[in-house]
Amino acid sequence: MSSNSKKKSALGKGLSALLENAETDITSKSNGTGIVGSISTLPIEKIEANPFNPRSNFEKDALTELSQSIKIHGIIQPLTVRKLGRDKYQLISGERRFRAAQLTGLKEVPCYIRVANDQAMLEMALVENIQREDLNPIEVGLSYERLIEECDLTQDQLSQKISKSRSSITNHLRLLKLPAPIQAGLKAHEITMGHARALVSAGDEKTQIELFNRVVAEKLSVRDIEAIIRGEQVVSKNEASLQKKSAAAISEGEYTFKEHLGDRLATKVDIKKSPNGNGKIIVNFSSDVDLNRIMELLNTK
């Protein structure tokens, strides 16, 4: 098989397949005879923090919340490490996740493994794979994040390199700030990217998850989410369907009466009934003059 055929085969399977391919993978086996997968599970004790990381302060409460999420959902976004020597690795990105995993007591963590002087290979693989249409929005966001963090690109530089608007890049990166259950729901196609973008603005993590659960259960639209965030009341599709069925559940005699009254008043008449038997008769009118006409007809003895 030619190198081009191998490359096309890998590109058809998404990000992990591309980086696991021998043509593009960036990790060498310890014996130097082959290629290992791009995502590996490593003992956390074999990983050391990056001494050059400019971020040294990590909020304790935020780490505790992340550790609780990791206990339930695991690590959604793998860490990125550099191989230093035999069974020794140094963290490149993901220190907050690394510290939370330590706090949780994990023994192993998923990692992208890189070797020295591989930036050009990584950049080429990620940029080329981003062009694929079979990646979900989280995979695309992770690719953007890796290019920015590990290849030292700005969003403007990334925009030019991959021919995507900066707003599109920003929107994908914002998805990575969503709680793990929502990211998992987006990857599983329970919600669309439009839903996820709206949920980003829904408030704190608890509010976001509660609204996400409601979106899935009630099949809410993106506009519904935006309306809820504005404080408006929203009727779910299930409730609307129930109301429609309830309104239509009238007897043959009641339907005949409705039609007869509509003919007498020369307007549309509706009967709305709830399952417990109460309801209302709705008489429609088009103007003040039409209302007065109907009132006179109803007052006629």
**With contact defined as beta carbons under 8 Å apart, do 117 and 137 qualify?**
no
pLDDT reported for residue 146:
85
Q: Cα(267)–Cα(29) distance, rounded to whole angstroms?
A: 81
Q: Which of the listed CATH numbers 3.40.50.300, 3.40.50.2000, 3.90.1530.10, 3.40.640.10 matches domain 27-117?
A: 3.90.1530.10
pLDDT at 15 over 50: no
Catalytic choice (20, 23, 95, 128): 95
| Burial class of residue 287 (count of CB atoms within 10 Å of its CB; 0-12, 13-18, 19+) | exposed
Residue 237's pLDDT band (cuts 50, 70, 90): low
pLDDT at 248 over 70: no
Higher-pLDDT residue of 252, 199: 199
pLDDT reported for residue 120:
65
Residue ranges per structural domain of the chain? 27-117, 179-234, 247-299
Q: Cα(129)–Cα(11) distance, rounded to whole angstroms?
A: 6
| E strand or H helix at 133 | none
Q: How far is CA 30 from CA 44, 122, 191, 247, in A?
A: 18, 19, 41, 71
pLDDT at 279 over 70: yes
Q: How far is CA 96 from CA 48, 59, 232, 271, in A?
A: 13, 10, 37, 60
pLDDT reported for residue 117:
57
Residue 17's pLDDT band (cuts 50, 70, 90): very low
pLDDT at 274 over 70: yes
Q: Cα(89)–Cα(91) distance, rounded to whole angstroms?
A: 7
pLDDT at 105 over 80: yes
- Note if 259 is an active site residue: no
96-110, 230-244, 255-269, range with the lowest pLDDT: 230-244
Residue 32's pLDDT band (cuts 50, 70, 90): very low
Q: Cα(39)–Cα(51) distance, rounded to whole angstroms?
A: 23
| E strand or H helix at 18 | helix 15-20
pLDDT reported for residue 115:
67
